[in-house]
């Protein structure tokens, strides 16, 4: 196990490179301790204001940990929202932070084989991760530290101004973005060119999904990672982030997964994807307050767990059928 500390002075405030506007200068200079305190305050405000997501988080926790008391679930829910608040402020700051200060925010704790593989710029590889710690800033860090651009498979938030802002953050230091819709071909091209690809695996999919076990419950996730790895013979390296108490971050780099490749593709996809989910669950159990429990990985297998979401989905399906009927009548 290697431990690489990128922070030469964890108590030092963030520096400024001297060529930015006053507002950027101010944003860069905000100490980490302030970001953490303000982020926690923002998170608690969101906890009381954002009732739908508060219910969603509690529902997911009760579903995964039925033996937990109501007080324990409430306490963890508040910590989860505090993490969201800190993450939001860190993402805003990361839009202007210099590369050298970004490198000081993280340390690496991981497997030597994986680190050597990541440094090999001639080999295509897949990084699996999830919405944990600060995944957006962590993506920037990995690209800078290993000196190779990383292509992230992402989906639009839904608001153009916010999508543009987040895409700027993701790509400003050389990384690339692949949007989920129609991503398959670009994913294969990325791997075959010897580049690195990162995919989050903690979201349920209704198309191109595979059934797995997550927290002892049936869930669904994308099969694209396992299929890409098999087709391109690419190594799969799990990397997850966690935030330390002083506001710095740790990138946890797991050993490359031992994937199965047999003559039964369907079985291989399920078995290999389950291996990926098992590693993710292990990390979530270690840092349960740092995973974004806003996800709905059980929405297909347990639709009654999310009645509001299921009602909206059925409504969209009815509208879609009505539009098709109208088009058929008019033609």
Note the pLDDT of residue 40. 96
Can you tell me the mean pLDDT for 222-243? 93
Using one digit for the tens of pLDDT, what is the confidence trace for 156-204? 877 888 888 888 889 999 999 998 887 888 999 999 999 999 999 998 7
In whole angstroms, give the CA distance from residue 220 to residue 206. 8
Max CA pair span of the chain: 70
Residue 294: inside a domain, yes or no?
yes
Total count of domains within the chain: 1
Using one digit for the tens of pLDDT, what is the confidence trace for 25-78? 667 778 888 999 999 999 999 999 999 999 999 999 999 999 999 999 999 999
Q: Between residues 146 and 74, which one has the greater pLDDT?
A: 74
Q: Which of the four pLDDT bands, split at 50, 70 and 90, describes residue 4?
A: low
Residue 215 has pLDDT above 70, yes or no: yes
Burial 96-113 (b: 16+ CB within 10 A, else e): bbbbebbbbbbbbebbee
Residue 24 has pLDDT above 80, yes or no: no
Residue 12 has pLDDT above 80, yes or no: no
Residue 13 has pLDDT above 80, yes or no: no
Residue 331: inside a domain, yes or no?
no
- CATH number, residue 24: 3.40.1130
Note the pLDDT of residue 322. 75
Note the pLDDT of residue 61. 97
Structure tokens at 204: 């349920």
Q: Which long-range contacts (CB under 8 A, 24 or more apart) does 267-271 make?
A: 268/226, 268/230, 269/210, 269/223, 269/226, 269/227, 269/230, 270/210, 270/211, 270/212
Using one digit for the tens of pLDDT, what is the confidence trace for 115-128? 888 888 778 999 99
Q: Between residues 218 and 330, which one has the greater pLDDT?
A: 218
Residue 309: inside a domain, yes or no?
no
Residue 151: inside a domain, yes or no?
yes
Residue 143 has pLDDT above 80, yes or no: yes
Structure tokens at 97: 């932070």
Residue 329: inside a domain, yes or no?
no
Note the pLDDT of residue 259. 94
On average, the pLDDT of the chain sits at 87
pTM of the model: 0.85
Query: What is the domain extent for residue 190?
Result: 13-300
Residue 16 has pLDDT above 50, yes or no: no
Q: Please tell me the least confidently modeled range out of 16-20, 28-32, 216-220, 235-239.
A: 16-20
Residue 97: inside a domain, yes or no?
yes
Q: Which of 123, 167, 164, 170 is nearest to 142 (CA)?
A: 170
Using one digit for the tens of pLDDT, what is the confidence trace for 71-87? 999 999 999 999 999 99
Structure tokens at 135: 């995944």
Structure tokens at 286: 């270690």
Structure tokens at 263: 């003559």
Could you tell me if 236 and 124 are in contact, meaning their C-beta atoms sit under 8 angstroms apart?
Answer: no
Can you tell me the mean pLDDT for 73-102? 93
Residue 139: inside a domain, yes or no?
yes
Q: Which helix (H) or strand (E) holds 133?
A: none
Residue 326: inside a domain, yes or no?
no
Using one digit for the tens of pLDDT, what is the confidence trace for 281-319? 999 999 999 999 998 999 889 988 988 877 777 787 777
Note the pLDDT of residue 41. 97
């Amino acid at each position: 196990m290697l431990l690489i500390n990128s922070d030469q002075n964890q108590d030092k405030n963030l520096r400024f490179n001297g060529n930015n506007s006053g507002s950027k200068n101010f944003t860069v200079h905000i100490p980490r301790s302030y970001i953490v305190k303000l982020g926690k305050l923002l998170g608690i405000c969101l906890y009381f204001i954002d009732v739908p997501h508060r219910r969603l988080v509690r529902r997911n926790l009760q579903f995964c940990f039925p033996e937990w008391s109501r007080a324990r679930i409430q306490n963890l829910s508040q910590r989860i929202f505090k993490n969201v608040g800190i993450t939001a402020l860190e993402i805003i700051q990361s839009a202007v932070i210099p590369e050298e200060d970004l490198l000081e925010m993280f340390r690496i704790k991981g497997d030597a084989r994986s680190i050597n593989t990541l440094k090999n710029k001639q080999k295509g590889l897949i990084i699996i991760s999830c919405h944990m710690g600060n995944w957006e800033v962590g993506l920037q860090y990995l690209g800078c530290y290993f000196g190779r651009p990383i292509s992230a498979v992402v989906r639009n938030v839904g608001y153009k101004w916010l999508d543009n802002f987040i895409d700027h953050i993701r790509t400003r230091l050389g990384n690339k973005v692949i949007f989920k819709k129609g991503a398959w071909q670009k994913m294969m091209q990325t791997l075959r060119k010897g580049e690195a690809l990162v995919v989050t695996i903690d979201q349920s999919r209704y198309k191109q999904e595979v059934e797995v076990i997550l927290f002892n419950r049936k869930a669904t996730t994308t099969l694209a990672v396992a299929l890409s790895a098999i087709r391109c013979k690419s190594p799969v390296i799990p990397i997850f982030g966690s935030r330390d108490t002083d506001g710095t971050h740790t990138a946890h780099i797991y050993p490359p997964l031992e994937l199965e490749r047999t003559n039964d593709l369907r079985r291989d996809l399920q078995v290999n994807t389950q291996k990926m989910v098992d590693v993710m669950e292990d990390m979530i159990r270690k840092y349960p307050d740092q995973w974004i429990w806003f996800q709905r990985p059980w929405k297909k297998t347990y639709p009654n767990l999310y009645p509001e979401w299921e009602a909206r989905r059925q409504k969209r399906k009815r509208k879609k059928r009505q539009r098709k009927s109208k088009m058929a009548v008019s033609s």
